[in-house]
Amino acid sequence: MKITQEIKDNTVIMTLNGELDASSSVLLDEELSDPEIMKYSKVLVNCQDLNYISSAGLGVFISHLQRFEDAQIKLIFFNMQDKVRNVFEILGLDLLMTIVSDYEEARTIANE
Amino acid sequence: MNNTIRVNCTKKNLKPIRDFVTEYLTALSLSDILMNQIVLAVDEICANLIIHANHEDPEKYLTLKVQTIKDQVRFEIADQGRAFESSNYKEPNIKEYIRMGKKGGVGIALVNRIMDKVEFLSDGSQNICLLYKKIK
């Protein structure tokens, strides 16, 4: 699992590359727990190269959602592969999180 | 085709387990989504066994066996850790988990929603989890 971050216009663009399982999700938790991220009002997560997610990866996002919402930080997922999106859908998480098709749409929603 | 894998109880072995299941399922020409779901269900059970039942003890092992019986694929996962108590299991309330900032607890829900049948058996020393999924 490789996680990279880019800062652009008060927005964090986080790119996930690889597989998020019980072993690698610790990395994601560390990234999202970094107080630095709370300085930005938008976090866009590029999931194009996220090839797999298990409950451990979902759990990391679930555990940070409320904190982000309380801090009025928009967390938006984009470019998600169908098989990965399906895992969010099985638990109904697609209705509780913002998952959009591409970067342009993510930018538009982030700027609303 | 080799249909059994035995690994010790470390989280690093989840990837080889997924690769093993993927390799087995590839021959069955499933859709990407179905293949991913089945791999996920096995991964969730193995992660639970490694982390909770065996406390990531590298001296302990689990064995996964897969076979296709008629129109369904069957997984048998055996270990000697603490038995899963399915009577204590409660379906997660995701909205509540979000509110609480809870990190875990949705794995078995995924398994139950993906697989057609999930069984946990134990004779006191050996535990076996059986997963069934219709594929045709």
For chain A, list the domains and their CATH numbers: 2-110 (3.30.750.24)
Place B85 in a pLDDT band, splitting at 50, 70 and 90: confident
Per-residue pLDDT reduced to its tens digit, B32-47: 999 999 999 999 999 9
Chain-chain contact of B104 with A55 (C-beta, under 8 angstroms) = yes
Q: How confident is the model at residue B126 (pLDDT cuts 50, 70, 90)?
A: very high
B95 with A23: Cβ contact below 8 A:
no
Pick the CATH number of B4-134 from 3.30.565.10, 3.50.50.60, 3.30.70.1290, 1.20.1260.10: 3.30.565.10
Residue B61 has pLDDT above 80, yes or no: yes
- Model confidence at B86, pLDDT cuts 50, 70, 90, reads confident
Closest CA to B9 of B42, B64, B38, B46: B46
User: What is the count of residue pairs from A and B with beta carbons less than 8 Å apart?
Assistant: 95
CB–CB contact A59 B33 (8 Å)? no
In the predicted structure, residue B102 carries a pLDDT above the cut 80: yes
Which of B52, B53, B38, B22 minimizes the C-alpha distance to B118? B38
**Which chain B residues are within 8 Å of A55, Cβ to Cβ?**
44, 47, 104-107, 109-110
d(CA A27, CA B2): 33
pLDDT of residue A35: 94
Q: Is A103 left (phi over 0), alpha (psi -120 to 50) or beta?
A: alpha
pTM of the model: 0.96
Asked if the Cβ–Cβ distance from A86 to B36 is below 8 Å, we say yes
pLDDT in the model for residue B88: 83
Our CA-based measurement puts residue A8 at a distance from the nearest CA of chain B, in whole angstroms, of 28
The residues of B whose Cβ lies within 8 A of any Cβ of A are 11-12, 14-15, 18, 32-33, 35-37, 39-40, 43-44, 47, 50-51, 94-95, 97-107, 109-110, 113-114
Residue owning tokens 């690698």: A24
Q: Provide the ipTM.
A: 0.95
Per-residue pLDDT tens digits for A19-76: 999 999 999 999 999 999 999 999 999 999 999 999 999 999 999 999 999 999 999 9
Using a CB-CB cut-off of 8 Å, the residues of chain A touching B102 are 59, 62-63
| pLDDT value at residue B1 | 62
Residue predicted with more confidence, B136 or B50: B50
The Cα B80–Cα B127 span in angstroms is 6
User: For B5-32, what is each residue's pLDDT tens digit?
Assistant: 999 999 999 999 999 999 999 999 999 9
**Domain map of chain B by residue range?**
4-134
Please report how many Cα atoms fall inside a 13 Å half-sphere around the Cα of residue A98, on the Cβ side.
20
Averaged pLDDT, B105-112: 96
User: Which chain B residues are Cβ-neighbours of A66 within 8 angstroms?
Assistant: 98-101
| B110 to A96: CB separation less than 8 angstroms, yes or no | no
Rounded to the nearest angstrom, the minimum Cα separation between B14 and chain A is 8
